[in-house]
Structure 1
Amino acid sequence: MRSEAVRFGIFTTLEDAGLAHDAGYEEFLDQAVLAEELGYDSVWLAEHHGSAYGTIPRPSIFATAVAMRTSRIRIGTLVTILPFCNPVRTAEDWAMVDVLSGGRVDLGVGRGYQPSEFALMGADPTFSREVFSEGLEVLLGLWRNESFSFTGKHFTLRDAQVFPRPIQSGGPPVWVGALSPEGFAVVAKHGLNLAMQPTMMPMPVLKDAAVEAARTLIDHGRRPESIDFPLQMMVHIAPTKAKAREIAHEPINWFFDRVLTKVPGAQGPAAASYEFYKQVADQMSGAVSLASLEEAGIVMVCDPDQAIETLTQLQTDIGTKQFSAWMRFGGLADEHVRNSMKLFAAEVMPHIPTDSPTPAAFTNSEIEPFTTSV
C-alpha cells in the first residue's frame, strides 16, 4: 500500500541537451501527466536564465501549462529566484497560478547563485541576501494580509493589495532554499520550512545543514514534529544497479560538466556571502565521475532495493517527509525517464516507511554531526 506520510515528486530544470525547446516542453508536460497517473504527489520546476543548464526562465508560465494538463498533482518551484523580479509581481503571478490550478501551488524561493544569471538580469549578487529577505517579507505580507505596507531599503509599499487573491488561505506554502545560518534565521522568522538539494553538496554536509536548520527553528519555537525539509535529488532507477549506471552516466556527465562552471568562484572571485559555493567549487574542481558522485551521496543511481535503503536512512537522519526525484536530466531519453518513474512508483514508493519520526539529532545537541568539513 502507498505510504500516506511521505510525499513524492518529480523535478526538472528542463536542460537544453539538443532537443528542440518545443519538443522538450511537450516531453516534460507528458511526464507530468504520467507522474499524476502513477501516484506522485508533486511536480517541481527550477528557474534559470541564459544557458543550456535550464530553460524555464518564468516558472509561473510553465506551472500554468502543467496545471492545465493535470487535475490533482501539486505544482511547485525549487526555486523561484526572488532578487530577479519585483516581489509584487511574484506575488501576483503565483496567486494567479494558484487560482488557475485550483489551489495546487507550492512556492520554493531562493536568492540565486549563478554569477552569469545575475549579470544577465542586471542584478548585483553582493546584495542578493538583503534583496531576498525584503522580497520574501513583501511576498508573504501581500498574501497573508488584505492590505500590506512595507518600508525597506529596496522596496516600499503603502496599502498594497494583490488581485487575484490566492485560493489557499494565506497563500501557497512557501519553502526557502538556504544553506547558511543567516538563511536559517530567515526561515525561522517567517515560520517557514527549508527546501534542500545535494546537487553540489555531499550528503553528509547536507545532513549537517538540516540538523543545524532544525535546531535553529526549534530555538525559535517551532515544534520538532512540524519540521519538513523537502529534499530533491538526481535519480535513475533500473532493475539492476549496473543497468542504472549504464543508462545514466553520460547524461550525468553532461549535467555536471556544465553546472560546475556555474558555481560562484568557478570562473572568478565569488561575491560576498557566497563563500560556501566557493568552497564547493574548490572541492569539485577536478574531474567529476559517477563513482565520485555516488560516494558523496549526491545522486541515486541504483536498483529499487538500494533506493528504499537510502530513503529510509534519510528518514532516520533528517526526517524526510517529501522527496522529489530529478529523473529528467542531461538529455536522458524520454523512454528511460518514464521507465525510471514507473519503477520508482511501483517498487520504491510503496515500501518507504509511513512514519518519519523526529530525528534525535534535531533535539539533542550532543549528537555528533555527519561530517566535520565541507
Structure 2
Amino acid sequence: MNQNKNQQIADIFASVESKSIFDNKQNASQSMTFSYLFFSDVRKDITDQNKYRFARELVEFADQSGFHAVYFPERHFYEFGSIYANNSIMAAYFAPLTKNIRLRTAAVTATLHHPVEIVENWAMVDILSNGRVDLGIGNGWNKADFVLSPDTYHDRVNLRNERIPMIQKLWRGESIEFAGPDGEMFSTRVFPRPIQPEINIWYVSASPQGFEYAGSMGYNIFTMLYGIDLNELEKKIKAYRKARAKAGFDPEAGIVSLMMHTFVHPDAEWVNRVVREPFKDYIRSSLAPHMKAAGKKLDQQEMEKMVDYSYARYFQTGGVFGDLSMCQKQIDHARQVGVNDIAFLQDFGIDYAAVKDSLIYLEQLVKQNQ
C-alpha cells in the first residue's frame, strides 16, 4: 500500500474520531480551556457497568480539577461507542454529581431527532444542572443510524443547518409550527423552560466548508485532526474567523474545540508501551463502519499497515502523549494555531488503573496552563 493510500484510509479513521453562558466577548484566541471527551470504550474485558463507573470517576475528577466541560457523543447500533446511545441521559446522570463543568455534546445528531425532542430533553438537563448545558450539533454519517429517521439521510447536511436555528428559537421560548397527523399544523412551544435564555452551539465539522459555515453563523466549532496536522488545522481556523468577521461577528470570540487523544506520564517510553496496543485495537474497532460508509474494503495486510500508519501519526503529532514537557509542546502548538479548548479523550482502551494513576499528571498539565 502506498503512502497516499495509507493517508486516504487514515483520514477515514480520523474523521470518527462558564459557569453560566460562556462569555464569548472575551478574546478567545488568548485563552485555553480543557475539557474531557467520551467517545468509544470498546474494551471487551470490561462490563458496561464498569465502563460507566470509569466514566463517572473521570467526570468527577474533571469537575474538581479545573476542567471546563465534558463532551458526550451519540452513537448507535455498533459496539464502537455503544454505551453512549443517548447523550442526554448521560448528561442528566452527571448533572447532580457535578457542580462546575459544562455538560456538552459532541454531538447531538440533529438529523435523527425532531428539534422539539432535542430541546425538551436538554432543557430538562439544563434545569437539573442549574444552567450548564451546551449543544454540539452533528449531521450524522453512518447510514445504519438512519433507521431512526430514514427520510433524512440524503439531505442531512442541509437539514442540520435548517434545524439549528429552530433549536435556538425553541430554546428561547418561541413557537414554531410543525406538521402533525394528516398534515395539520401545530404551533409548538417547548416545556419545561430551560434556565439559560440562550443555548451555546458547537458546530461539529472537519471540512473547510463546515468551518466557514460555522463562522458565518456565529457558532463555535468542534473538530478533530481529520488526516491533517495542527499546521493544516490553522488554515481552517483562519477561514473560520474570517467568516465570522465577514458576517459581523467578533472574529476572536468563537470557540474552537479540538479532540485530542491523551495520556500524560513522566515516563514517555512507558506511555508508548501502555498506549500502543489499546490504541491500535481502537483503530481496528472503528474501521468497519467507516470503511463500509466509504464503500472501501481492506484485506488483513492492508488493515495492519493502515493501523500502524494511523497510530504512528497520532502518537507523534495528533495527540497529547508523553511527559509534561512533550505534552506542553502540543498544547502550545494547538494554542498558536488558534485552538482555545482541548477535549482530552482517554477512553480508547487504555488500562483503567493506568489512566487513574496518570490523572495527577494530567491535572498538573491543566493547572500549569491556567
Q: Which of the five TM-score ranges fits, normalised by the shorter chain?
A: 0.7 to 0.9
Give 1:342's aligned residue. Answer: 360
What letter is aligned with 1:351? Q
Shift of 1:44: 1.0
SS at match of 2:107: strand
SS at match of 2:288: coil
* Kept in 2: contact 1:194–1:230 (CA 8 A): yes
Residues of 1 paired with 2:80 and 2:250: CA distance?
38
Give 1:254's aligned residue. Answer: 281
* Alignment equivalent of 1:301, drawn from 286, 311, 321: 321
* Alignment equivalent of 1:327, drawn from 343, 346, 360: 346
Residues of 1 paired with 2:232 and 2:31: CA distance?
25
What letter is aligned with 1:336? A
Give 2:92's aligned residue. Answer: 64
Shift of 1:256: 0.8
* Kept in 1: contact 2:206–2:225 (CA 8 A): no
Residues of 2 paired with 1:307 and 1:157: CA distance?
55
Alpha-carbon deviations, 1:249-270, whole Å to 9, x = none? 111111111223332666517x
Q: Which runs of 5+ in 2 are unaligned?
A: 1-29, 297-301
Residues of 2 paired with 1:99 and 1:188: CA distance?
29
Give 2:266's aligned residue. Answer: 239
Give 1:16's aligned residue. Answer: 42
Compared with structure 1, are the counterparts of its residues 266 and 134 closer, same or farther at alpha carbon in structure 2 (3 Å cutoff)? closer
SS at match of 1:8: strand
Larger % of helix: which? 2
* Alignment equivalent of 2:61, drawn from 34, 37, 46: 34
Residues of 2 paired with 1:157 and 1:241: CA distance?
61
Give 1:125's aligned residue. Answer: 153
What letter is aligned with 1:22? Q
* Alignment equivalent of 1:219, drawn from 242, 246, 252: 246
Alignment of 1:1-374 (within 5 A): 5-18=31-44, 19-54=46-81, 55-118=83-146, 122=150, 124-149=152-177, 159-171=187-199, 173-198=200-225, 201-263=228-290, 268=295, 286-289=306-309, 290-295=311-316, 297-318=317-338, 320-330=339-349, 332-346=350-364, 348-352=365-369
* Kept in 1: contact 2:205–2:221 (CA 8 A): yes
Compared with structure 1, are the counterparts of its residues 49 and 179 closer, same or farther at alpha carbon in structure 2 (3 Å cutoff)? same
Give the CA RMSD over aligned residues: 2.8
Residues of 1 paired with 2:268 and 2:346: CA distance?
15
Give 2:26's aligned residue. Answer: none
What letter is aligned with 2:139? R
Shift of 1:80: 1.2
Residues of 2 paired with 1:90 and 1:194: CA distance?
19
* Kept in 1: contact 2:202–2:220 (CA 8 A): yes
Aligned residues: 331
Residues of 1 paired with 2:253 and 2:294: CA distance?
40
* Kept in 1: contact 2:211–2:236 (CA 8 A): no
- With 180-189 and 190-199 compared, the bigger mean Cα shift is at 180-189
Residues of 2 paired with 1:315 and 1:105: CA distance?
25
Q: Which runs of 5+ in 1 are unaligned?
A: 270-281, 355-374
Residues of 2 paired with 1:150 and 1:215: CA distance?
35
SS at match of 1:225: coil
Shift of 1:241: 1.5
Residues of 2 paired with 1:252 and 1:197: CA distance?
16
SS at match of 2:244: helix
Compared with structure 1, are the counterparts of its residues 337 and 268 closer, same or farther at alpha carbon in structure 2 (3 Å cutoff)? same
* Kept in 1: contact 2:39–2:73 (CA 8 A): yes
Alpha-carbon deviations, 1:272-295, whole Å to 9, x = none? xxxxxxxxxx99983434323234
Residues of 2 paired with 1:340 and 1:125: CA distance?
41
